[in-house]
Each structure stands twice: as structure tokens, then as C-alpha cells.
Structure 1
Amino acid sequence: MTPPKRNNQWCVPSFDCEIVNEPLVKRTNTRELNKSLSNTSFTQNNFKRRKHETCLSKLLEACEPQKLSELAISRQKQNEISNWFQYKASKRQPSMLVLSGPSGCGKTVAIKLLAKENGFDIIEWITPIDQIEDENKRVMRQGDKFEDHVIRATRYRTVLGNYSKQLLLVKDLPNVYQEDHKGFFTLVEKYFQIGKEPVIFVCTETGNSRLMQTLFAPNVREKFGIDLINVNAATQTAVKNILKRVSGVLNAIAADMLYVSQQHIDEILSNSVGDVRSAVLNLIFISLKVPEQHLKSECGVREETLGLLHGVGRVINPKKQSDGDSTKYVHDPEEISAFFQSQSVVFVQFLQENYLNTIRTIEEATVASDILSLADVLNSEWRDRNLGKVALSYCIRGLMLANEKPVTGWNPVKKPRDDHSNIQRCLITAETRWYESIIKPCLKKMNEMSIVNEDEDMEIIIEED
């Protein structure tokens, strides 16, 4: 009977797995390890060896920019962000940046590339979907977990980083701070007292976003010294260059599934509103290789791809044709709204900018302005996504009916002004001040009445004495 083998390990782990005595492995050099990891990483070079990639997330990952020249953000904004990294974030003092801009303009990708260039590791906060529990299995508030994460990530260094500096990136702020503004301000104040590493908040400005007016208002940024950089939507030239680069990548790694042609790129550019992410997704789906037997189905397919400018022209200059004793529109309003349901806010903004070019009388202009105002109200209601579709359909039908005899002639479609969000902020501020002008005098009168009543009670008590 052979004696049992003795365990030569001096430390017994507490994990629920068996201890396996393996021969010692020689440690590899750090440079060799990094080199091997870089060779096996998920990059475009490794993608090019394959032609049958079908995972959408991997396709999008392969299309991400690898150099600063491939970004959709302008050089001026890149220099502003880089200067903030050099003169604010590198001082090992608490510093905070708010990077705002429309959806899909490349804010997060630009931060990651510029952080890597300036020697920063990125720790990103992702709001959990499930309930959060602490070490004792007790349910934690989302705000408490976020506060703990901010303090830990900005005060202590991670051992998994590649650089000597790190920053915290927050794209998805917990919903609890949409109402609890004081709690967020307390957290920011605590961060500036004990934090050491910089924090970047990425805010997506939309037509119904009030984050910049509540949590990052000008007086709040001035109080805590928070920097703000606004990024514009991607230009048509930038989107075109990105789609050309992406088309080569997609044709190389997924040739079995899709084929991107110049015609597909032109169709995407005709509907582009500066959203690079949406343009790349649409390019992937429109370039799928579909068998011919599946093209004709019971549902049918659209015979055309309606561009944004053509859609605006069909609404503000509706054409009619006689059908017996009655007339009907050449272009169905419901079909027009079906093309732009994913960008209803942008389409309504284009109509607001151009609807006066083809209206003859002041009465028709009054009706059209009322229709557009109601469409704005419906689009600002974020609690129900279907209201955006209702607002788009209502706006298109209303403008086409209001404009009975449109002005004929060549009218170029104008792009909405970039200060649309600023106008909305001014309107909100004006509305708030108007309500305050009504409420504050009432409160003042109530306070005066209460003071008078207190004085009368005091006189009565003194007379009784």
C-alpha cells in the first residue's frame, strides 16, 4: 500500500475547487505577454482573415476607429479635449468634464482614443439592471452604489491598468438623480474633497433632455469648476469618409453575409442626420445578401428609399391629383411618416425651419404653427415612445392639409439651426420665471397676512393680560 502523497503547498486556498499539484511554470516576460495578447486581440487585422463573421456586436467592434484621423469629431474639438487632459486631468487633482452632443456623433470613442494617447486607463460605470446587493446580501440603493463606485474609482488605483493614470467615464447616470438633485450635488461636493482622479460625464442632448439644465446648470458648473465641451453632429463629409472606411472592413470580414456597394452608401447618406452609429447600423442591414425568393413576400417591400430632403419637400409642397369628383395626395402621408419614425424629432425640426417657404396666407401659417407647436409638445413627452410616432403622423398630415395652394418655385431645404437646444432652454427659463412671477407675489401676500394675524393675536393676548 503506497503512502499518501503529502501536499507541499504551504497555503491552502479557500475556494470550492480541488487542489491540483502542477509543475511550476516559468513566468513569461511582460513584453512577450503583451505581445501575445495583442496578437490574439479582436482587431481589424485579425478580422480580415475571416470572411464569415455574423455577430453584429463583433462587426460593430471591427468598425470602431483606431486612429484619431478616423474620428467623426472635428480637429478643433479633439484639441479641446486633449488640452483638458494635459492641463486639467494630468495634475492628479479632482477635475470634472461634461462632454455633451447629439447621439452617435462619436463622443465616447473620442474619449477612449484621446485617453489612451494621453496615458489614461478608463474605468467605465455601467448602471446595473438587476437589484444591487452589498457584501451582506442587503439591497442597496442605486445612488449609494454609484457613490461608492465614484469614490473608489477616483481615489484608489487599479492593479489591472496599463498606464499610471486613470479616469472614470460615466455615460449612463443613475435615474435616481433625475429627481434627487441635492443628492447628486452632495456627491459632487464629496468628490472634490477626497477624489484624486478625473471624471468625465458623457451627456447625449436630445429634444427632450433636461440633464444639462438640472444637474449641470451653468451655476452648478461655476460653483464646482466643472468644464463643458459641446460636440456638434457629424458633418456629411465625415459620415461619408467613415462609411467608405467601414465598407472595406465589412466586405473583408463578412463577405459571405453582406456586400456594401457605393449605391448603399449613397442611400444612407441621403438620410444621414449626423448620427454615425445609426448610419453604420443601417449600412449593415441594407447590405445584407437576401435570397431572391425571400424578396417577394406577402408583406411586400418598399419600392424606393425616401431621403430626408425629399421627404420634407413632399410635406411642405404637397401634390394632388384628381380622382373622379375628389382629389387625393400623390404621396401618402402615412408612407412618409413610416420612413422617418426613428428620427421624428429631427424631421419635425426640418419642417419647422422650412414650412414658411411654401405657405401663401397668414391664416395657413397660423394653423401650421399651431400644428408644429403641438408636435413639439408630443415629442417632449419621454414617458411614452409611441407619442413620437403620433406627433410625426399628426404633423405631416396637418401641414399637408393646411397648405392648400403651396407657392410654386425652387425652395432649397434649410438645415435646422444648431441653437435649437439653446432656444428650448431659453423657453424653459422664461416659463419658469413667468410662473415664479405669479407664485412669488401670492406667497408674499400670504406671508404678510400671516404676520398681520400674528400681530393681532399678540394684541389680544396683551389685552387679556
Structure 2
Amino acid sequence: MPLHLYQKYAPRSLAEFAGNSEVVEEVKKWALLFESGKRQKPLLLYGPSGIGKTALAYALAHEMGWEILELNASDTRNKDNVERIIGAASSSAGLFSQRKLILIDEVDGLEGTADRGGVSAITSILTASTQPVILTANDAWNKKLTSLRTACRFVEMKRINKRTVQAVIARISKEEGLHISEETLDAIAENSDGDLRSAIIDLQGRIPSSLRDRDKLIFECMKNLFKAESYQEAMRSFDGATIDYDLMKLWIENNVANEYEKIDEIARAFNYISRADVFDGRVRNRQVWKLQKYSYALMLAGVSLSKDAKYHKFVKYEFPSYLRSMSMSSEKRAVRKSLRRKIAERCHCHIRDADLYFPLIEQMVKKKVPLDYFELTDDEMKFMGVEDES
């Protein structure tokens, strides 16, 4: 299921891209050389997740006016599929003879029987391609990518600094009409550890009291949708709502089983949600936004009319559990980061090496050795497995 805010605010040009400015400039020069007729080695963008590797490829394609063809981790990437999906495209121009950017996302994720022969097929295509190709990976030094290394130009992308992360989420917060304090934004940026995507997810997971009126509107929209008895009613159920489309999908998905009681009703509803996802994938991959009307109809009318008859019961519609779990995981990351900082200070080591001391502290906990030296908070003590004895 696609996430809403980080997709909604994905950069549409290189100027909008946040962080890794030197890489952005390098990628732009690479593209301009290709555009001038000088064939370039495929780029392999690598680095931690959430820093914008895929977003950079899409921003580049949009700025250069190139079509984009993506092969991502959700596709089966064996030899036959790789050759079928990107084989011919790598040596032929796009519509109206324009360039076509081939994007092979998360190439280090190829594994198992399902992707057998994928790496060798990709290597052959890279060698022969006359079109620009960008690959992304978290771990560029994975053994399975050995044959790709000589065929690619490696470009490292680094974690985004806190100031840049905070500036981005502050802008999104302002444009979304969220009233979130500077202290909260600072905490989100600090906890993200340079992962902009997780910071935006964390931002979305914050529901300040000032948004209560908006929440009430969402509940009313959900009621209108699930109680609708015609196509027209269902399609008007979210009229006037400012909720983002992908967030709307999360709300609907999370509450189908709360509203419907029959197994076949729930199955029909999720079938329509699945078909809506297919159209959303086509919108993202092909940038054909007119297809979104079909996704919208499947998501609203399809789900609404999956019931045999209108339910007259009261339903307390729930906030999407996925976003809540993302917010909870960010809190755990914050506690872990605070622990690492304290360990680094007291053990005179680099913060990156602090994790090496966790097993030692866990043994101290098991043997009931006092941890006063580390001055841990209650949350940090719980993280290390110390129960509150009060």
C-alpha cells in the first residue's frame, strides 16, 4: 500500500530534491551528457533506505522530459521477466523518439528461485543498453551484485542532515495545515537519523489536538461511504474533505472489517481495494494520472457496494493501524538513539560503536549490576529489559 505524504511531496524536479546536493549535480551532468548523444555507464545509486534514491530517479526523469520504466522489488525479476519488461525498452526510444529512463529499484533485493537468472539478465542489458539506466541498492557490495559492478558507475548517497530533514517536514506541516510545534519537528528530525521518508511517516503519525475537527470530518466521510446505497452516494462520500487520497485508502482499508460482518462482503471489498492498488501502480510507474479516476471509483463505490445491505449499527472507525505502528516504531528508535548517545559518552567510544556495548549491558541487567553510571531514564531501562519494581 503506497504511503501518502512522502509520495504527495515527492520532488518533481532536481531543484526540489532535499539533501545530497553533490550527487544531484553529478546525476544531472550524467543525464545531460546522455542527452547530448554521449552514452554513459548506468548509475548505481546506493545508500541507506529513506534518503531518496528512487525519488531522485523520478525527479530526474521529470526534469529531463524522459519516460520512465521501473522494475521494482514487487515484480518477479527472473531472467524471462527482466528480458520481457526492460530488454526491448533498453535499446529503443520512447514515445516521439524521446529518451526512456530504465529504473531498476532495490537491485540488491533479488533473491531466491523467483528471481533466478535476474542478475545475469540485468548485467547483459546494462552492457547493451542505449538508453539511460539507473539502479538503486541499499548494499552495493552484496556478493550477488558482483557481476554488475564493472557495468555500473557507483554513486553513494548519504543520510540527510537534521537541518534539511527539519526544513522539509516543516514545509509539509505548513502546507498540510498542521499545527506542530518547533520542538516536535526538531524531535522528529533528530529521531529520523537521516531517513527523510521515516521522518515524513512519523509526521503523518502525529495527530495534534488542533486536528480534532478534521478527524470528525473523516469519521463523517467514513460513515457516508459505508452507509451509502448507490454509486452516486458512495462517490460523493468524501466531498469537501481535505484528506489526502492515500490516507483515505488507509482509513478505508483499516475499517472494512469493522463495518462489514460477512466474510464474502469483506472479501469483495478487499478485492476492489486490490484492484484500486493496481491502477495506482500504473499511475506511479507510467505517470498517467487520468487512470486515477478508476482507482477512486473502485476504492469508494466498489468498497461501499460490496455489502449485501446497509448496516444500521454504530461503528467507531479506527485510525489506520499502520500509521500508528510507524509512530510507535519511531518512539523506539528515539529511545535507542538516546541510549547509544549515553553509552558513547560514558564508554568513550563513537556513537556508531555503541551498539557493541548492548550485550554487555544486557548481561549487567541479568546479573542485577547497578546501572547508575549510565543515568538511564525509565524508558531506557525498559528498553534494556529492566522491569519497573514500583
* TM-score normalised by the chain length of structure 1: 0.45
**TM superposition shift of 1:240:** 1.2
Contact map agreement 2:342 2:374 (CA 8 A) in 1:
no
2:66 is matched with 120
Per the alignment, do residues 395 and 165 of structure 1 end up closer, same or farther by CA in structure 2, a change over 3 Å counting?
farther
Counterpart-to-counterpart distance in 1, 2:364 and 2:24:
41
1: CA distance, partners of 2:329 / 2:141: 26
Q: Which residue number in structure 1 is paired with residue 180 of structure 2?
A: 260
Residue 152 of structure 2 is aligned to residue 244 of structure 1 = no
Q: 1:202 aligns with which of 116, 122, 136?
A: 136
User: Counterpart of 1:272 in structure 2: which amino acid?
Assistant: S
**Separation in structure 2 between the aligned mates of residue 345 and residue 262 of structure 1, nearest angstrom:** 20
SS at structure 2 position matched to 1:64: coil
Seen in structure 2, the aligned counterparts of structure 1 residues 244 and 357 have a Cα distance that, compared at 3 Å, is closer
Q: 1:152: how far off?
A: 1.9
Q: Mind listing any 5+ residue stretches in structure 1 that lack a counterpart?
A: 1-54, 133-140, 206-210, 252-257, 295-337, 376-393, 410-465
Flag the 1:105–1:174 CA change in 2: closer, same or farther, 3 A.
Answer: closer
Aligned residues: 259
2:149 to 221, 236, 253: 221
1:127-146 correspondence runs (5 A): 127-128=73-74, 142-146=78-82
Are 1:232 and 2:158 matched, yes or no?
yes
**DSSP 3-state at the match of 1:122:** strand
The aligned amino acid for 1:156 is: S
Residue number in structure 1 paired with 2:18? 72
In 2, distance between residues paired with 1:127 and 1:193? 22
Instruction: Note closer, same or farther for the CA distance 1:406–1:69 as it changes in structure 2 (3 Å cut).
Output: farther
Secondary structure of the residue that 1:271 maps to in structure 2?
A: helix
Quick one: structure 1 residues 234 and 395, their matched pair in 2 at CA, closer, same or farther if it must change by over 3 Å? Answer: farther
Deviations 1:101-160 (A, max 9, x none): 11111222222222333343221123556xx7xxxxxxxx8431122212122122333x
Report the secondary structure of 1:358's partner residue.
helix
**Which one of 358, 374, 380 corresponds to residue 346 of structure 2?**
358
SS in 1 for 2:30: helix
- Corresponding residue number in structure 1 for 2:45: 99
Change (3 A) 1:243 1:186: closer
Q: Secondary structure at the match of 1:216?
A: helix
Question: 1:355: how far off?
Answer: 2.9
User: What corresponds to 1:269 in structure 2?
Assistant: 189
Give the structure-2-normalised TM-score.
0.53
Does structure 2 retain, via aligned residues, the 8 Å contact 1:264–1:286? no
Whether the aligned pair in 1 keeps the contact of 2:79 and 2:120 (CA below 8 Å) is no
Q: Distance in 1 between matches of 2:16 and 2:361?
A: 37
CA pair 353-167 structure 1, distance change in 2 beyond 3 A: same
Q: From the two aligned structures, give the one with the greater helix fraction.
A: 2
Counterpart position of 1:36? none
Question: Which residue is 2:29 aligned to?
Answer: 83
Unaligned stretches of 5+ in structure 2?
Answer: 216-325, 376-390
For 2:185 and 2:199, locate their aligned partners in 1 and report how far apart those are by CA, in whole Å: 9
C-alpha displacement of 1:199: 1.5
Equivalent residue for 1:156, pick from 92, 96, 102: 92
Runs of 4+ with deviation above 6 angstroms: 179-182, 343-350
Structure 2: which amino acid aligns with 1:108?
Answer: T
- Partners of 1:174 and 1:100 lie apart in 2 by 10
Q: How does 1:277-296 map to 2 (within 5 A)?
A: 277-289=197-209
Is the Cα–Cα contact under 8 Å of residues 44 and 135 in structure 2 kept in the other structure? yes
Output the amino acid matched with 1:153: A
Please say if residues 69 and 86 of structure 2, whose CA atoms lie closer than 8 Å, have aligned partners that are also in contact.
no
> Aligned ranges for residues 9-20 of structure 1 at < 5 Å?
none
Structure 2 distance, partners of 1:177, 1:89, is 34
Secondary structure at the residue paired with 1:102?
A: coil
Query: Which residue identity is paired with 2:104?
Result: V
Q: Percent identity over the alignment?
A: 20
Distance apart, 1:197 and its partner CA: 0.9
Contact 1:181–1:215 at 8 Å: present in 2 too?
A: no
Partner amino acid for 2:130?
K
Structure 1 pair 374–356 and aligned structure 2 pair: CA distance change class (3 A): closer
Q: For residue 239 of structure 2, what is the aligned residue in structure 1?
A: none
Greater Rg by CA = 1
| C-alpha spacing 1:265/1:168, structure 2 compared with 1 (3 Å) | same
- For the residue of structure 1 that corresponds to 2:70, the secondary structure is strand
Q: Give the SS at the match of 1:212.
A: coil
Does the 8 A contact of 2:78 with 2:114 survive in 1?
no
Amino acid at match of 2:343: Y
Q: Please list the CA deviations of residues 319-373 of structure 1 after superposition, one character each: whole Å capped at 9, or x if unmatched.
A: xxxxxxxxxxxxxxxxxxx99855978977886676364259xxxx9xxx9x955
Deviation at 1:65, TM superposition (A): 2.7
Whether contact under 8 Å (1:85, 1:115) holds in the other structure is: no
| Corresponding residue SS for 2:141 | helix
